[in-house]
Structure 1
């Protein structure tokens, strides 16, 4: 997963239904750019730098995204255009249906012909500083080395801002994971379960449990000689998964909202049925159920289904040497094993999500669609 950065954006509108324009822009930012963490109050403010009979509605928000600043700017300009703003080449300020500006990006200093960060006028605009102060008063300007509250106190703009008694809705809050205290994301080799679990944990303040497969010394050996190392591999995985899940689920983290893992211990039984001889599997199954009955079961079991072609593409892309010769037949047996298992589980809350035609790493809309499937929430597709 790409490293995300924290952006501070300013939004304004003084034409048409101003509050609605702001809400549409907020929704579009969430859908196309990244995770909205906080939204300030909306303030009514007079125009600054030009004459107009229409006051502005202004606010700020905090955004997390993996996109680079120039890509964020291009996305914001696209949203402005969809909301009817036509930027003019004429000098001076004008009325506008929507205005979306990048104010700060952490402590970055960024200057190009089309974008300057920090915004060069932010310290002179009360309609930016006041809502930004609501969100991050101690945030420091990376060039002026003053906090937002200090800049607000010394700002020469004496405009009077009036709070609007309507709050913008944060679309991120529509995705409610509170019904699950613990859920597991499962899938075939290369399905994307680790990437999805990691992204959800980051975006929604969850405790993350990741399978420690990379530490298993028998895994490369298994791919070289499956018959010789299958039982040893499966036993080592079972022991490690049991210990990890037992330890991690027993350690309460008061600062996290829920737990998400990229595996469930039951995968041990699914893989072992494929890799072990019948007599070995019968022994393995007895040991498995002795251990499994003591473990906490996930509130939701998500299975990410991808077709074999996509799985092979993902395996090649991530480039682990020992995985490069995995046969299609082996992947198909794993898929079949999972699906047969899930169909028979009456005590499991199971959700199978087909992501064969989705790319939640590169396409935020696909990511949000998957979250909507998990939370039983309809996510708007958007027009762009």
Structure 2
């Protein structure tokens, strides 16, 4: 009898052990929100959200995902933030419309035990639980350095004319970091800065309107333009085209959008930054799942007192577009070499 009881005890302990192990190995679950800032850039719908969703499907198939885009409306993003908390979000990935206004959102979430991952744009005033992005200050410096080198290679003297600087939104802390990098690059390049503009909401039409005024003001003294992203670059190029300036002076960009890559192929835009958003989106997903599992994600560095992971992107010009974009599968020749861009593709050795 005693032997039977001992056997039963051991069997019960074994069953409890297996149950405990099963519980330990159980896949994480929970509600995670992914809140993006605007639709002026196509990247959020085409790259960031699909990339985040795909990684979450691998890591947490039982997780519930909530996606919202604020369309550059601060009040709308606040409503969306409140809504996802009410829906039970335990982790919120937030790309803020307004980095200053987002501080109160972070504090509110943290007071309720909700983790906030700042995404792409930091929240300087209040540390989020984590920050994932490309190195924005490095991006600004890289596009400015690249453009300065192009001007020097073309023999443009530093004493002749100067450059325009088209920054991003004044409410976006990431735009401020890009701006800081651009300032450093222009200063190191030795070219005069004729004027600069902080583009509200990153809106290309507003960038175009401002650049049009500067073309009237400075004319051919404008030897180049450091634009903070591809949208403002597109607006800049449109302004020069409308003014009859041919060729357009070198214009920088950032994001490697399809339209920007085609402008580089056509010779209208000088550079952009290839930063496949899926990389950052996947990293945000990994951090989110870590929080759901109760783990503190490791941080490579700190930015604004926030544990951070920053990725280094690549500068793309006509010289390396094939290697950085086509050969790496970021875009295909069929996507880029349409219509009037076919001739430029042929010159760059990009075949359909």
Q: TM-score range by the shorter chain?
A: under 0.3
Which has a greater percent of helix? 2
TM-score (norm 2): 0.27
